[in-house]
């Protein structure tokens, strides 16, 4: 290998980019054209994001282009709603197909013409066998299939039959057009695959114009060729379709010679990335819709507050290879936190309020304190927060009988109220059942703003909101849909986690949060990243937890090592 080649190699990040690079370098292609080819039969999910980032990413990196092409060859499953949602999601992810929006249905006439071409070449025939007969004669994984009794029809008869199929003369399932390849092939895809089936259905784009529809295998590669796709990138399960892909390309007068490459699809712990299951979750009412924030759909992640750059970063981190794998969901959370940490403004919110009365603070007095919007970014500015005699703190930030490593509030202990004062817990008030309902504390006026002139330190800083000014809010805490890291997709309903959604009805927010209208993520200090949900009503905002902050204390306390 020359030094020059070594230098080039270093920019390759995965085996597909290596192939693209080699093809460009060797002159096999002068430019790169890829495509993202969704079937509009469901919403896009994080697994599709991998393919989207790969296809659009490669096009961008190598100065080529990427088409968005709907693989709309099965009108019984496809809907306009999905077509619209897919475009919205790809755009939101940050990719632009420009004017290159296509549909396999754009090529129906050309594909049909090529079907007649195959018949005339003696390479396709109309089969009258029933579905059951075809299955029976296809053979098994270990036994070869048998030729159809209709395999040797004349060109004239085949042409006539195909034309009558197109004209709608036959009912669904009566006949199919098959390629004449090899019924004894070890590769079942080559045992005379179906090219066209009769489907009396309404297509979102072509309406009732067509009575026959091409199969995936017959449509996909030819669509690639028509669009001059150079690298047709798909997932592993299509690996043994490649010989068929190539067979069509070699036997048809196509305008270009695309090549198919396969990579391993994404799998993640605690979720299921299968359109069938996701569809089942929606139609079965297990979730609130395709954009339920617990869903791994792009729409769901967006509603949960995940920024598109976090998804792109995650996809970049997991890489591309041919080995099946399951990515730890913690890796996704990391990308989300990393993206949000940079941009999310800091705010204070108390999820589970515990009232605190500051006994030595003048009754009726209110003052304004400065709070940074982003401690690591002075450019984000600051805001005023109101402080008064009665405040709320987080119930989790108080323990009557704390273990040794509990730094927060407990009887006699002094802590800092973020951006405000040091307070010391003097008294614990309980109700009849023994539940702590209020804390009586004192504050040190000299610590205004959060620093003690005498230099004394406190172990903890806790968040708070002014009771008189706080806005009551609903906060939705999301946890994985499946507690099981590898749920059984075949039995997904039984696998659903009962704690995937926890709704808090009486959270208290600092007023600045009620004013926020944008969907930008905010950090509730010490709690996590949240975003305002569209269900918000005037005076009663609703927030979704996008992801919690890393919580070392939770780990320590859960381990009983306190």
Cα(232)–Cα(531) distance, integer angstroms: 38
* 330 in contact with RNA (CB under 7 A): yes
With CA atoms as reference, report the closest residue to 41 among 391, 346, 290. Answer: 290
Is residue 216 at the binding interface for RNA, with CB under 7 A as the rule? Answer: yes
Strand order of the sheet with strand 464-466? 461-462, 414-417, 422-430, 436-443, 353-358, 390-394, 464-466
Extract the tokens encoding 7. Answer: 């230098």
Residue from 92, 150, 261, 407 binding RNA (CB under 7 A):
407
Q: Which residue has the tokens 């108080």?
A: 398
Q: What part of residues 103-132 is at the interface with RNA (CB under 7 A)?
A: 129-131
User: In the complex with RNA, which residue's Cβ is closer, 173 or 381?
Assistant: 173
Encoding tokens for residue 458? 């406190």
* Footprint (CB under 7 A) of RNA, residues 520-559: 523, 525-526, 549-553, 555-556
Binding region for RNA (CB under 7 A) out of 70-78, 156-164, 246-254, 289-297: 70-78
**Minimum CB distance to RNA, residue 449 (Å):** 4
Which stretch in 9-17, 148-156, 284-292, 500-508 sits in contact with RNA by CB under 7 A? 9-17
Q: Does 92 bind RNA (CB under 7 A)?
A: no
Which of 8, 12, 19, 438 contacts RNA by CB under 7 A?
A: 12
Among the listed ranges 80-88, 111-119, 333-341, 435-443, the one in contact with RNA (CB under 7 A) is 333-341
Q: Lay out the site mask for RNA across 463-502 (x = CB under 7 A, - = otherwise).
A: ----------------------------------------
Helices within 372-416 (DSSP H only):
none
User: Among 172, 202, 484, 519, which residue sits at the site for RNA (rule: CB under 7 A)?
Assistant: 172
**Cβ partners under 8 Å of residue 473, min gap 6:** 349, 507, 508, 509, 513, 514, 540, 541, 542, 543
Q: Does 279 bind RNA (CB under 7 A)?
A: no
273 is a contact residue toward RNA (CB under 7 A): no
CA angle, 271 then 272 then 278, to 5°: 120
Q: Which is nearer to RNA, 292 or 458 (CB)?
A: 458
* C-beta of residue 266 within 8 angstroms of C-beta of residue 272: no
- Give the closest residue to 206 by CA, choosing from 107, 116, 100, 114: 107
- Binding residues for RNA restricted to 336-365, rule: CB under 7 A: 337-338, 341, 346
Q: Is 400 in the site for RNA (CB under 7 A)?
A: no
Which parts of 25-44 interact with RNA (CB under 7 A)?
Answer: 37, 39
Take residue 44 and report the two structure tokens written for it: 């896009």
Which of these, 44, 127, 40, lies nearest to 93 by C-alpha position? 44
Least Å from the CB of residue 14 to RNA:
4
């Amino acid at each position: 290998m020359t030094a020059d080649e070594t230098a080039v190699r270093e920019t390759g990040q995965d085996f597909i980019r290596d192939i693209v690079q080699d093809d460009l370098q060797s002159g096999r292609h002068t430019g790169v054209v890829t495509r993202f080819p969704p079937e509009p039969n469901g919403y896009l999910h994080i697994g599709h994001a991998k393919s989207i980032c790969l296809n659009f990413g490669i096009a961008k990196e190598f100065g080529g282009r990427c088409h968005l092409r709907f693989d709309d060859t099965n009108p019984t499953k496809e809907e306009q709603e999905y077509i619209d949602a897919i475009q919205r999601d790809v755009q939101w992810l940050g990719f632009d197909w420009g004017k290159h929006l296509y549909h396999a249905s754009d090529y129906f006439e050309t594909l049909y013409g090529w079907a007649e071409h195959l018949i005339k070449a003696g390479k396709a025939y109309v089969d009258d066998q029933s579905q059951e007969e075809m299955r029976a004669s296809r053979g098994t994984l270990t036994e070869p299939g048998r030729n159809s009794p209709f395999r040797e029809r004349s060109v004239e008869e085949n042409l006539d039959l195909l034309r009558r199929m197109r004209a709608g003369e036959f009912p669904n399932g009566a006949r199919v057009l098959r390629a004449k390849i090899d019924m004894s092939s070890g590769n079942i895809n080559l045992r005379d695959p179906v090219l066209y089936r009769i489907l009396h259905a309404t297509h979102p784009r072509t309406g009732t114009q067509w009575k026959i529809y091409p199969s995936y295998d017959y449509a996909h590669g030819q669509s690639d060729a028509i669009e001059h796709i150079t690298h047709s990138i798909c997932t592993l399960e299509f690996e043994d379709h490649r010989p068929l892909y190539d067979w069509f390309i070699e036997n048809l007068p196509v305008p270009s010679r695309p090549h198919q490459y396969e990579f391993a699809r994404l799998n993640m712990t605690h979720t299921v990335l299968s359109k069938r299951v996701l569809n089942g979750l929606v139609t079965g009412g297990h979730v609130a819709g395709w954009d339920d924030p617990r869903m791994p759909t792009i729409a769901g992640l967006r509603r949960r507050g995940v920024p598109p750059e976090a998804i792109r970063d995650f996809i970049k981190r997991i890489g591309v290879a041919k080995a099946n794998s399951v990515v730890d969901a913690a890796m996704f959370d990391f990308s989300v936190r990393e993206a949000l940490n940079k941009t999310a403004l800091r705010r204070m919110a108390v999820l589970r309020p515990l009232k605190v009365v500051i006994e030595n603070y003048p009754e009726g007095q209110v003052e304004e304190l400065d709070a940074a919007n982003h401690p690591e970014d002075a450019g984000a500015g600051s805001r005023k927060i109101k402080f008064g005699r009665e405040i709320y703190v987080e119930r989790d930030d108080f323990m009557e009988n704390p273990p040794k490593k509990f730094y927060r509030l407990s009887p006699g202990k002094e802590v800092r109220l973020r951006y405000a004062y040091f307070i010391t817990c003097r008294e614990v008030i309980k109700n009849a059942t023994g539940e702590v309902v209020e804390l009586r504390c004192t504050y040190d006026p000299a610590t205004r703003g959060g620093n003690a002139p005498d230099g004394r330190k406190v172990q903890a800083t806790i968040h708070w909101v002014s009771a008189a000014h706080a806005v009551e809010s609903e906060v939705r805490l999301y946890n994985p849909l499946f507690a099981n890291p590898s749920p059984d997709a075949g039995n997904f309903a039984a696998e659903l986690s009962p704690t995937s959604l926890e709704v808090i009805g009486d959270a208290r927010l600092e007023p600045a949060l009620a004013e926020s209208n944008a969907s930008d993520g905010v950090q509730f200090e010490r709690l996590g990243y949240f975003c305002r949900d569209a269900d918000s009503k005037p005076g009663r905002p609703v927030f979704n937890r996008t992801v919690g902050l890393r919580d070392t204390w939770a780990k320590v306390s859960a381990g009983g090592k306190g």
